[in-house]
Amino acid sequence: MDALKKIVDKVKPHFEKGGKLEKFHSVFDGFETFLFVPNTTSKQGTHIHDAVDSKRTMIVVVLALVPALLFGMYNVGYQHYLAINQDVNFFETFIFGFLAVLPLILVSYGVGLGIEFVVAQIKGHEIQEGFLVSGFLIPLIVPVDTPLWMVAVATAFAVIFAKEVFGGTGMNIFNVALVTRAFLFFAYPTFMSGDAVWVRTGTTFGLGNGSIIDSFSGATPLGQIAVSPTTQVQLGGITGNSIGFIDGFIGLIPGSVGETSVIAILLGAVLLLVTRIASWKTMLSVFVGGAAMAWIFNTIGPDTAAAHFPWYNHLVFGGFAFGAVFMATDPVTSARTEKGKWIYGALIGIMTIVIRVLNPGYPEGMMLAILLMNIFAPLIDFYVVDANINRRLKRATIKK
Amino acid sequence: MANLIKTRRGLDIQINGKAKEVIEKTIISDEIALIPDYYCGITPKVVVKEGDIVKAGSPVFYNKKNEAMNFVSPVSGKIIAVNRGERRKVESIVIENDKKNTCEKFIVKSPEKHTADEIKVLLLTTGLWVYIKQRPYDVIANPTQTPKAIFISSFDTAPLAPNYDFVIGSQMTDFQTGIDVLTKLTVGKVHLGVKAGNTIFAPVKNVEITPYEGPHPVGNVGIQINKINPVNKGEVVWTINAQDVLFIGRLFNKGIVDLTRTIALTGPEVNAPQYCNTIAGCRINQLVDGKLSLNVTHRIICGNVLSGIKVTTSGYLDPYATQISVIEEGIDTHELIGWAMPRFNKFSVSGTYFTGFFENKFVQKILGKKNYKYDARLMGGKRAIIMSGEYDKVLPMDILPEFLIKAMIAGNIDKMEALGAYEIAPEDVALCEFVCTSKLPLQQIVRTALDNMKQEME
């Protein structure tokens, strides 16, 4: 450790003002604070500080995403070998998925952090950690076969136009990862909304060579419902086997990389709730709002497949659980008042189901519901704050 | 006695070095200094020059904005320096203590025989007025106004705070006289907040006693005002620290200005934390020399670790301070990838550390009480506000701190007024500053905003 500190101290002057590498000051500072807790002490105000900081917060969120990522990697391999009807061991399955997902992670982090570094340097502030989470979320919410250049373009768009133009982490209105997903969805609709991208049928770095079985269908459960001619749908896996609630809960079904397994997502949810980084109020109200709305459609809804889709199934298929746990609870873009969080969460749940059921164009409603509520979060807060202001005005004797 | 008020939001920070209830001895240094910067919102005009002889209670400077407001010498002796900084700003006035303690005599009667105006004049001349503060703005009270109430808190819940029962308990006659004086200054009541179950302050007369229970900051007078009689637009309440009531009591009982007080020397870097008697403006080194741990860079704080003022050993005691806290500075600590380490010895209210586990009653039974390590580091970089709801959990007021702080940062005075800026003082947001993930200097933000607001409104 001492040796490392010496090296850092030795190169530090080059990055300070007037040094040869002054242009890379923010990057250096980013690495230095990554390696060592900054020893800046308080000058005034509180002399001691809570040990938590934004790096700690972000790393916990990343840890919470790890189960979903690992399961997602395994599932990518599992779906692939199912599609080519080959029986391989656990390890090989995982390696296939690992190699398929790794490029997505590298591209997302590479592009996003690259922009973050450049912007930090231009503005002369410290590198903000927010993208550590966004960059990890992006590979989890895209289909595995999304071309890397598309991911790169979408990430760049989201980081610049959804975050940096607003002033960086903490100032953004929209969830950056969801903007990436929305960009992909609307910029490349023919590619992103078909049935072909959800399962990797080709090889990955030469692995998993084989021909696809005849009965193969890559449609996701929600995709199947959207196109169903009948009102009662029997969901099927990629080989045509019938699937139900429990399969959606476990998650060995086609879908975006990290969204399929409710078990893995719940593991992350437990960590987020224990560490109190995510609001249990938001999380719970998304599920309650979604379940209630789906139940209403089940009972009095139109006579379509989506409306008849049981409410409990709505919660485990598609991106519902993933969105509720990791996206709706993003503290920056969600409602910031405690009362507001209940309303915000419930409306996300409700909107998701409304979009799924009533809009034939979009089989999945989570992304749009959260982005929509991102817009309304400040409005919700406005009314909660206004109530506080009015209480104060009421007891005042001098009005204006 | 009014009904018990319980608060749940707040935080008692677990930190070592609580003072043992023993008074070591009386320490009054050979040099005493008055530092105008310690008083909020005044412009000093010095009335003494080097070589002048002063008594305890003689004016040393007055406030240019209100010329009746004197600031007096706590001891008798000779002025040895009037130190000025840039643009002739008065930095300190140093007095050599002759140890004779000759006092200015003031003619006083028992409080009920004085009119309010006489009392105001007396307090202003004797320099005791500066201990009375006002909300809004948390500055020295404006003597031309009459407050709707006066609030005093008889207990301090800040980390390692002195026990007022111990400090004031033996001087209840002076305390009662002080209260009687204050009752003359308001049209409303004098409120005395006590800790639930307290018996020392129960016999105090002429006050409305309200018991409180809960974690810090329930002992802050700001919280108590918010619970009982919140400050609205156009209203003023005054506050005074319970220990400073003694100064007023002594003046009316003895006719002299006696600024000696009992302070607690506390903190993890103090070898034997205990109380000592001293005086406002005492040199710090005489208070701490030989009592601190070795081989550590110290951070010495006049006041508590949350809202005190940083001083060096060559500095002087803040006249408002009731304790001195000493912690490690931490400037030479370099933790390798600390943000990713378990860091079992760190205290955090967020769930991202193991504090919750160690503070669990059951775990404490097995492992014993945990010793957390503190120093003055920020423990992270400054960011925009990211987490929501952090501040609400430690501020038991009907105020939305995050929105108020944002209005203050933006300098939006209408919004500040609407969101409760009149009710708040920097010390009330000290805990918010402690828990803030984004490491924002909230107390400084509030202080600057209140100063700007005062300027705009008056």
Encode chain A (400 residues) as per-residue pLDDT tens digits.
678 888 888 888 888 777 777 777 788 888 888 888 888 888 888 999 999 989 899 999 999 999 999 999 999 999 999 998 888 899 999 999 999 999 999 999 999 999 998 998 888 888 888 899 999 999 999 999 999 999 999 999 999 999 999 988 889 999 999 999 999 999 988 887 777 788 888 888 888 888 888 888 888 888 888 888 888 888 888 888 888 899 999 999 999 999 999 999 999 999 999 999 999 999 999 999 999 999 999 999 888 888 889 999 999 998 999 999 999 999 999 999 999 999 999 999 999 999 999 987 788 889 999 999 999 999 999 999 999 999 998 888 765 5
Contact: B376, A47; criterion CB under 8 Å: yes
Co-location of A106 and A160 in the same domain = yes
Q: Per residue of chain B (458 residues), what is the pLDDT tens digit?
A: 778 999 999 999 989 999 999 998 888 889 999 999 999 888 999 999 999 999 999 999 999 999 999 999 999 999 999 999 998 899 999 999 998 888 989 988 888 899 999 999 999 999 999 999 999 999 999 999 999 999 999 999 999 999 999 999 999 999 999 999 999 999 999 999 999 999 999 999 899 999 999 998 999 999 999 999 999 988 999 999 999 999 999 999 999 999 999 999 999 999 999 999 999 999 999 999 889 988 889 999 999 999 999 999 999 999 999 999 999 998 888 888 878 888 888 888 888 888 888 888 888 888 888 888 888 888 888 889 999 989 999 999 999 999 999 999 999 999 999 999 999 999 999 999 999 999 999 999 999 999 999 998 87
Q: Nearest chain B Cα to A40, which residue? A: B377
> How high is the pLDDT of residue A399?
56
Q: Which of residues 230-289 of A touch B (CB under 8 A)?
A: 274-277, 279
Q: Please give the residue of chain A at the shortest CA–CA distance from B336.
A: A36
Tell if the pTM clears 0.90, that is, is over it.
yes
Check whether residue A122 and residue A241 sit in a common domain: yes
Q: Is residue A393 part of a domain?
A: yes
Same domain, A308 and A336: yes
**Beta-carbon contacts below 8 Å between A and B:** 219
Of A41, A276, A395, the CB nearest to B376: A41
Q: What is the mean pLDDT of chain A?
A: 90
For residue A298, give its domain range.
278-400
Q: Which residue type sits at B344?
A: F
Contact A54 B438 (CB under 8 A): yes
Q: Does some domain include residue A220?
A: no
* Residue A161 burial by Cβ neighbours in a 10 Å radius (0-12, 13-18, 19+): middle
Considering the domain architecture, whether residues A26 and A71 belong to the same structural domain is answered as no
Closest CA to A126 of A168, A172, A176, A174: A168
Residue of B12, B378, B404 to mutate for A, most A C-beta atoms under 10 A = B378
What chain B residue is nearest to A39 in terms of C-alpha separation? Answer: B331
Are residue A319 and residue A173 in the same domain, yes or no? Answer: no
pLDDT 10s digits, A301-349: 888 888 889 999 999 998 999 999 999 999 999 999 999 999 999 999 9
Note whether A17 and A60 are same-domain residues: no
Q: Which DSSP category does A126 fall into?
A: P
Within this chain, do residues A142 and A176 fall inside the same structural domain, yes or no?
Answer: yes
Pair A304, A240 in one domain: no
- In the stretch 166-185 of chain A, residues with CB closer than 8 A to chain B read 167-171
Radius of gyration in angstroms for the set of CA atoms belonging to chain B, rounded to a whole number: 22
Give me the phi and psi of A392, to 5 degrees please. -70, -40
CA nearest to B158 within chain A: A46
Inspect the interface and report whether the beta carbons of B378 and A171 lie closer than 8 Å. no
Contacts of B374 in chain A (CB under 8 A): 48
A237 and A139 share one domain: yes
- Subunit contact A46:B305, Cβ cutoff 8 A: yes
Same domain, A232 and A369: no
Q: Residue A268 falls within a domain, yes or no?
A: no
**Dihedral angle, C-alpha B74, B76, B82, B85, nearest 10 °:** -20
DSSP B54: E
Token reading at A289 = 């709002």
What is the spatial distance between Cα B40 and Cα B46, in angstroms, rounded to a whole number? 17
Answer yes or no: do A98 and A239 share one domain: yes
Cα separation, A165 vs A15, whole angstroms: 26
**Are A195 and A300 within one domain?**
no
Q: What are the two backbone dihedrals, phi and then psi, of residue B9, each rounded to the nearest 5 degrees?
A: -75, 140
Percent of chain A with pLDDT over 70: 99
Domains of chain B, with CATH numbers? 5-10+107-254 (3.40.50), 31-97 (2.40.50), 380-458 (no CATH)
Contact B8, B396 (CB under 8 A): yes
In a domain, A132, yes or no: yes
Structurally, how many domains does chain A consist of? 3
Inter-chain residue contact A49 with B378, CB threshold 8 Å: yes
| Sign of the dihedral defined by the CA atoms of residues B220, B224, B226, B227, in that order | positive
